[in-house]
Amino acid sequence: MNGLLIFLNLLQSLANCITLKETLYVHRTRPGLLVQEVSFYNPTDKNIEVSVTQDILSSWATEHSPIEHMKDNSEADADSGTKWHIGSKTLSKQVLLTVAGREFSRTGIMELPAKKTVLRHSLTVFDYTVMENKGDKSVTQKTIRDRKSRCVKAVKSALHAGSSDLYEQHTLAWHQLWQSGFAISDSKAPDSLNSDVINSTLYYILSHVSSTLQDLTSSPSEVSQAMTYLNKPRACYHNSHHTLQFSSLWQIGETVEAMNKGVDTHLSSLEHYGCSNYIKAGAEGVLQAVLLSLGGLSFRESNDKVVHMEFNVDPADLHRDYQFTNIRYADKTFLNISVIVDESNHAVLHVSSSADNFYGTDAGLAEPVLLSQKTQTFPVKLTKPLTAILYVSDSKKHLDSLRKIVQHVEVPVLAPAQDHRVLARHKHGHSYGGLPAIFWVILALLIVTFHFFLFKMIFSELCKSDSGHYYRRRALS
């Protein structure tokens, strides 16, 4: 999940054969940059010539705009002499698309020496912009010039960074993004949601949103604006059902159309449930919002400041182990929260915090406990009416005041143990209980052995009564 697409290919013509490994990625920190690395290997013992065309660039250059030869004398451009293309085209709704890039080879023919690998990079920058002042020709011309020079600048900067740095920036950015995440114990019950599906959907969503915080071209003021949004979660997923129970929301198909549709559904439901600040913050915010949505986590604010975070889920729904990693609590504090069903089938909360001035308390609003990097456990209490099962705040005073506000009809008690049949359904896919595999193996062996003795008995009875003639007759006929 580092944002790379890798293709392996074997190309064969009558007498020749080459292998191709293509790594393709849309750069995480450089907007609009598509990097294509192709390694051609010629396993045969004669030199081979192949012709290469890059559809996007060549069709753009010939069909939509004149080729402009871009001169680049930077040292990083090892393949100087390869052909450059840049073109702009107005799409419907006044969207101007500008593309700049470099082809693999100048002539379209590549020489592959025997038993050698040839590595080639291609960089393409895409830039979309909505044209204002349609009809005004001089404005249009100016916009086109601006966008073209912007693209050229982006390609040059990428060339300057060099291919290994580009690769590293990209994979590191993905790695940083994945510092926050969600994992859940595998369930075999039908229609249940597992980590692999959640992670791949998260990956599709994050691939669709840019990150102002990681984008190398963001200005300092854009970065600080994004941070402000990130620290103001507002009512994101406040009093809403957690999405873990809607498995269809997470099952996104594999076609591009299905992915686009699935991602759109997710983003519009985040918007609908009050997470617009997180969306405006970019990829980091969207990830936080989706994590909150999964588990029924939400923040409460007062006077424009976050006062506490709460974990709102019905104790009866806690029949699987799951873990939130690095949930951002406003500024620079990150929380890890896990639900663990212990041996007595009771769910227990494990909470740790990267800062040492945060407090946590259970649904019964017992005396707040200071959180730290060491995991602190909290019992899951059942209240009437149902309230959150965990409150976290950087103000002990605030948690103390909550105890006065939140009135329980009855004294909160420890939530009952989870139904063992539900637990068995997750573990085994059915509710017949969790007999270990060895039991079934022994049972099968017993049955086989029993039948074996049974057959042996019948067999010897038969032989005795027939005095063996039966077999002799069979053997002769």
Site string for ligand NAG, 320-339 (x = CB under 6 A): -----xx-------x-x---
Residue 472 CB-density burial (10 A; 0-12 exposed, 13-18 middle, 19+ buried):
exposed
Long-range contacts of 276-281 (CB under 8 A, 24+ apart): 276/234, 277/229, 277/230, 277/232, 277/233, 277/234, 277/236, 278/229, 278/230, 278/233, 278/236, 279/209, 280/226, 280/229, 281/212, 281/213, 281/226, 281/227, 281/229, 281/230
Our finding on whether 197 is near ligand NAG (CB under 6 A) is: no
Over the window 348 to 367, marking each residue x when it contacts ligand NAG by CB under 6 A and - when it does not, the resulting string is ----xxx-------------
Q: Taking CB under 6 A as the rule, does residue 196 contact ligand NAG?
A: yes
CB of 251 to ligand NAG, least distance (A): 15
Nearer CB in complex with ligand NAG: 41/203: 203
CA–CA distance, 64 with 131 (Å, rounded to integer): 18
**Helix (H, G, I), strand (E, B), or coil: what is residue 311?**
strand
Whether the Cβ atoms of residue 186 and residue 195 lie closer than 8 Å to each other: yes
- Listed ranges 145-153, 230-238, 346-354, 438-446: which one lies at the site for ligand NAG (CB under 6 A): 346-354
CB 391 within 8 A of CB 399: yes
- Residue 183 within binding range of ligand NAG, rule CB under 6 A: yes
**CA–CA distance, 346 with 376 (Å, rounded to integer):** 16
- Complex with ligand NAG: residue 129 or 325, whichever CB lies closer: 325
Q: Stretches 120-128, 176-184, 382-390, 410-418: which one binds ligand NAG (CB under 6 A)?
A: 176-184
Q: Would you say 232 or 328 has its CB closer to ligand NAG?
A: 328
Q: Least distance to ligand NAG from the beta carbon of 334, Å?
A: 6
Least Å distance, CB 195 to ligand NAG, is 4
Determine the Cα–Cα distance for residues 390 and 297; give it in Å rounded to an integer: 9
Regarding 141 and contact with ligand NAG (CB under 6 A), the answer is no
In angstroms, give the least distance from the CB of 311 to ligand NAG: 16
E strand spans, 322-432 = 322-329, 333-341, 347-353, 359-362, 369-370, 376-379, 381-382, 390-393, 413-414
Q: Counting contacts by CB under 6 A, is residue 199 touching ligand NAG?
A: yes
Q: If binding is defined by CB under 6 A, does position 298 make contact with ligand NAG?
A: no
19 binds ligand NAG (CB under 6 A): no
Residue that the structure tokens 């020749």 belong to: 16
CB of 216 to ligand NAG, least distance (A): 24
Residues that bind ligand NAG (CB under 6 A): 178, 181, 183, 195-196, 199, 325-326, 334, 336, 352-354, 373
